[in-house]
Amino acid sequence: MALCGGGLWFITALFFFVEVHAQPVLEVRQTIRELGISIGTFPTGTLNAITDVPGVRVGHTTLRKGHGALVPGQGPVRTGVTVVIPRDDVWNHKVPAGSFVLNGTGEMTGLAWIEEAGFLEYPIALTNTLNAPLVGNGVISWMLKQYPAIGITDDTLTPVVAECDDSYLNDSQGRHVTEQDVVHALESASSGTIAQGSVGAGTGMRSYGFKGGIGTSSRVLPEADGGHVIGVLVNANHGRREQLTILGHPMAPHFSKVQAPLQTTEGSIIIIIGTNAPLTSRQLKRVAKRATFGLARTGTIGRHGSGDFILAFSTGNVIPHYPTAQTYSMTILSDIYLNPIFAAVVEATEEAILNALTMATTVVGRDGHRVDAIPLEPLKRLLIPY
């Protein structure tokens, strides 16, 4: 089995100190590919991240404060915000976009306008459920600073904010992510390596009975298929322990000694897809739907109470802001060449979810609630033979 599908192999094992009963525990985390487990057949980009798509930037603000019993409105705090900027000056150089909702127990604001207009014109923000309105305010504040005419002589905006519930670990009533935290994530967003796991919007998330959070992966198509880059970023907060499947193998029997947290909610997942393939909004909706196959490969069924939202965008064309000419031109990939992109999205989605699990660290939150990171050594022993 190949260690890496392509590009350069960067060892991004991270060392974290996690507070468990006031005792620091050193955790070494690796991506699923660094564990020696390859997903799919297409090569990855150099970073194996959504930032392999040229122009895409990602930023986090992570908030961790306090320990012990929950004091509503004060803490403990285990939350954050993650932002995805599709390209520089996206207000004036809009990107085609399309979405799909697998199960709608949740919210991703701004989708009605994307559905109507067929494009995305501002950053995407991910956060916890009760913080979504304040995070939207932060995106608006940042946009007003970049484009002072908004709401005066220019259009207004409806920010895209996708939420998942982190209230098992976090004082969600406190709505601790501020506008300044959102602005910080946007200002610090970069096109480089992305921190994964228990960071940003993923700080308080759990998935398949383990610690979840932010994960990312990418694929590069062969030149014969266009050479396009497809990147995926997820905020994984979904699934039950008994459902977890990796490379077709049920994992739950092998982790019976790791206590699963009390499952009080159904969970959710946010999937963001970026590509430089020249796709239309209609085609991007089709691409977004294919991410559900990668999601299903990890075991989930899209539960009744789950919020599973997928948004795809393409940097392969520019939709101008109030063009002076009555027409403009776009390059559009023929539908008959979409199949490799569909396959790449499935692979990258599956791997991004697994990276969210393998890169996440154990977190102890409010009222002593603990969510353990998935143990890595059993994964190596179980899966490398395959």
DSSP state of 261: P
Q: Rounded CA gap, 305 and 267, in Å?
A: 7
Considering the candidates 171, 308, 314, 372, report the single residue annotated as catalytic.
308
The two structure tokens encoding residue 256: 């019976």
Structure tokens that stand for 274 in this block: 């970026």
Cα separation, 296 vs 282, whole angstroms: 23
306 is catalytic: yes
Could you confirm whether 191 is annotated as catalytic?
no
Query: Which token pair is 106?
Result: 């949740």
Respond yes or no: is residue 329 known to be catalytic.
no
The residue from 99, 218, 268, 281 that is catalytic is 268
Burial class, 198, CB count within 10 angstroms (exposed 0-12 / middle 13-18 / buried 19+): buried
State whether the Cα torsion 347-10-38-295 is positive or negative.
Answer: negative
- Among residues 167, 172, 281, 306, the one annotated as catalytic is 306
Alpha-carbon gap, residue 51 to 167, rounded angstroms: 29
Q: Which of 58, 63, 85 is nearest to 194 (CA)?
A: 58
Whether the CB-CB separation of 315 and 54 falls below 8 Å is answered with yes
CB 74 within 8 A of CB 241: no
Residue 98's contacts (CB-CB under 8 Å, 6 or more residues apart) are: 114, 118, 281, 282, 283, 284, 285, 286, 287, 288, 311, 312
CA 25 and chain centroid, separation? 26
Q: Which residues, listed in sequence order, are joined to residue 206 by a DSSP beta bridge?
A: 211
Name residues whose C-beta falls within 8 Å of residue 117's C-beta, 6 or more positions apart in sequence: none
Backbone region of residue 22 per phi and psi (left: phi > 0; alpha: psi in -120 to 50; beta: other values):
left
CA distances from 208 to 161, 266, 300, 306, 371 (A): 24, 11, 8, 13, 11
Contact 382/249 with Cβ under 8 angstroms?
yes
Q: Please list the active-site residues.
A: 268, 306, 308
